[in-house]
Structures are given as structure tokens and as C-alpha cells.
Amino acid sequence: MSYLPQPHASQRTARVPLADITPAVLRFDDGSCTMGKLQIISLTGGLLCLPRLLDQGSRIKLVFLTHTGPVLGAAEMLRPLSWSLQPFPFVALREGDQHRLRAAIQSSLDQTEDTCTFC
């Protein structure tokens, strides 16, 4: 069963910029694939650095590794922000993948809080 996080309209989900290079594989309906680098991630979507931008509205399967395990989700590409950066929202994310993603984001947020000297 697919699960898609539904954020409250007044509450924005945490967005985590990734310190490490996080490769991502984008798979298209025709079976072809391309590589990208995940720059920012949240429970509802993220930002990819791509060698070639995709058409707005393109539906893809996206897989990437976190320290909590692999995450596979369906996404829709949005309008590019630059010549290489393109955002996406998840349109489907299975419960196990959503759980791993949530754990990875929380772990990253916890590490940021631990190293913050200004807090």
C-alpha cells in the first residue's frame, strides 16, 4: 500500500540539506534510467541536481540510499530552479520507505542540533 505524507497546511515539513553526496537513480516508465544527486530532502519531496533537466510533470521512480536504508518513491518533476537543479514532490511512498526516510531526516536534524553552538 502506498503512503503519501499529508502535511498540515499550516506546518511545513523539515527540509534537510545533505552534507554528503547522495546519488539517486531516476527510472522512467520506458525502463530507462539516469543518475542525479540529491541536494535536499523532506518527507514530501526534495531537490535534485541533474546532468539534464527533465520535463515538468514527468513521473519517475526515485531510489536513493540513506544511513537507515534505501528509499524508493514515485515523484513528479516540477519546474527547474536553475540549469541543473530541479525540485520534486513525492506522489507515492510506501510505508516502509516513508519510515526509513523519516528516521534519516530525524537523525540528520538531531546531528545538526548536537553540533549547533548557537542554539
Could you tell me if residue 119 is inside a domain? no
62 pLDDT more than 70: yes
Could you tell me if residue 2 is inside a domain? no
Could you tell me if residue 39 is inside a domain? yes
34-56 pLDDT, tens digit per residue, is 999 999 999 999 999 999 999 99
Coil, strand, or helix at residue 86?
strand
- Tally the domains of the chain: 1
Could you tell me if residue 105 is inside a domain? yes
Could you tell me if residue 8 is inside a domain? no
CATH of the domain at 82: 2.40.10.220
Q: Which domain holds residue 39?
A: 13-113
0.85 exceeded by the pTM? Answer: no
Half-sphere exposure of 29 (CA within 13 A, CB side): 4
- 14 compared with 58, residue with greater pLDDT: 58
Could you tell me if residue 71 is inside a domain? yes
Could you tell me if residue 35 is inside a domain? yes
Could you tell me if residue 40 is inside a domain? yes
